[in-house]
Amino acid sequence: MKKIGVALLGLGTVGSGTYRILKSQHDNIMNNYGVDIEIRHILEKDMTKVNALNIDPSIVSCDINNILNDDKISIVAEFFGGIEPARSFLIKSLEKGKSIVTANKELFSKHWAELEAAASLTGAGLYFEASCVGGVPIIRALQDSCQGNNITCLKGIVNGTTNYILTQMTDNGANYSDALKEAQRLGYAEANPTADVDGYDSSYKLSILSTLAYGKKVPLSKVYCEGISKIDIEDINYGKRFGLTIKLLAISKNNNGNIEAHVYPAFIPNEHPLASVKGSFNAVYVTGNNVGDLMFYGRGAGDLPTGSAIVSDIVYAATKAEHRRFPYALDEAFLDSDFNTNFSCEYFIRLNAVDSVGVLSKISGIFAQNGISITTMYQQADKGGICELIFITHITNEEALEKAMNTIKVLDCVAGVSSVLRVER
């Protein structure tokens, strides 16, 4: 029986969940996969967490050298989050030939090249299934189940916090502020929710997933990012009128080597599978040139769902004599021409205008001058001489839409532009 020594860096929510799974599943893992996993050391300063799990304190310390200098430890799982000290500890572990397992999407998206360089020198492995979409095995699927395809598109809901907030607004009529407070009360959102609600968390994940899907580095700097804090309940209600649901989407596309990647709130048709993903659940919609459309759905966060992905990586690493390399993660010589920033979609536009003859014609004319055609127009009843106009466009590009809106918003007859949101089909 192959005995594998493992170290855990931290006993936070996911670290504690991982510990519990490794203990409860120990015999099943040993019987089914032929590896005897032993937790040899844990880095943790909060002894209340240690005692709560009935962990032998003799294997607990705050000194990374106790892990680095133990030759029987071959896998290091990290749960600190953030960049430091996680980055330094993982680099040192790789330099010692120890494979690493992490759920740290920020670290991995920003320092993948550095981690891969250190790992390739010693042959150690990089495992990061839990970094994207929690317990959903999307990374393993992209790596090991889609070899017969060129992946052409990824479209997903990859942040549970924002999906919970938008679900509360859509299903219960909550405003953004109240929905955020409820998410914080339930533990879905941090006290400082910026990483989630401003889209950064989704951007980290999209960078990682796109790089894997296309075999070409999609750096974080090439991911357009926009959050949900400006979403108004009125937008959601109008969306319902047109059979649309709003979600924070992480989208990337590969058009014959030309890649686009963006995170933004967008309407999708109610019949789209992603529209039914509610609460804190996540899903990724993958399109391959041969398999067609696939969807991966499940819990995107939490101690046991994410711990499940961590344990899967630990077992996977323990059974490999040679670890996968990621040479494309080292490629910093990408060209701006490889990435499309002038992406195209439909647009939902809500604005207030003077309710008088010729106003609608003037606005529609500006759209036409910029090559933008309209599929849907709706006018809300006059309110004191001002009416609310809703337009949904045909597919157009960002530059044309921006140029048209810059002209429209300064018209004397336009009292204000309330919303410009994308529509994805």
What is the token pair recorded at 177?
A: 């502020």
How far from 20 is each of 26, 127, 404, CA to CA, in Å? Answer: 10, 20, 56
Q: Determine which helix (DSSP H) or strand (DSSP E) holds 138, and give its type and residue range.
A: helix 138-144
276 φ, ψ (degrees, to nearest 5)? -90, 0
> Catalytic residue among 96, 98, 155, 205, which?
205
Q: Say if residues 386 and 354 touch (Cβ distance below 8 Å).
A: yes
Q: Say if residues 106 and 204 touch (Cβ distance below 8 Å).
A: yes
Work out the number of other CB atoms within 10 angstroms of the CB of residue 79: 28
Helix 303-318 vs helix 26-33: angle between axes, to the nearest 10 degrees? 30
Helix 86-95 vs helix 105-122: angle between axes, to the nearest 10 degrees? 20
Q: Say if residues 126 and 116 touch (Cβ distance below 8 Å).
A: yes
As a whole number of angstroms, the distance between CA 326 and CA 122 comes to: 14
- 3 noted as active-site residue: no
As a whole number of angstroms, the distance between CA 60 and CA 45 comes to: 8
What is the token pair recorded at 257?
A: 């080597």
37 φ, ψ (degrees, to nearest 5)? -90, 125
Work out the number of other CB atoms within 10 angstroms of the CB of residue 172: 10
Residues recorded for the chain = 425
Q: b/e string for 308-324 if b means 16 or more Cβ within 10 A?
A: bbbbbbbbbbbeeeebe
Strands 244-255 vs 258-269: parallel, antiparallel or unpaired: antiparallel
The structure tokens 């430890």 sit at 73
What is the token pair recorded at 217?
A: 């580095």
Residue type, 271: E
As a whole number of angstroms, the distance between CA 120 and CA 319 comes to: 18
Q: Say if residues 348 and 239 touch (Cβ distance below 8 Å).
A: yes
As a whole number of angstroms, the distance between CA 303 and CA 20 comes to: 10
Q: What is the largest CA-CA distance in the chain?
A: 84
The catalytic residues are 205
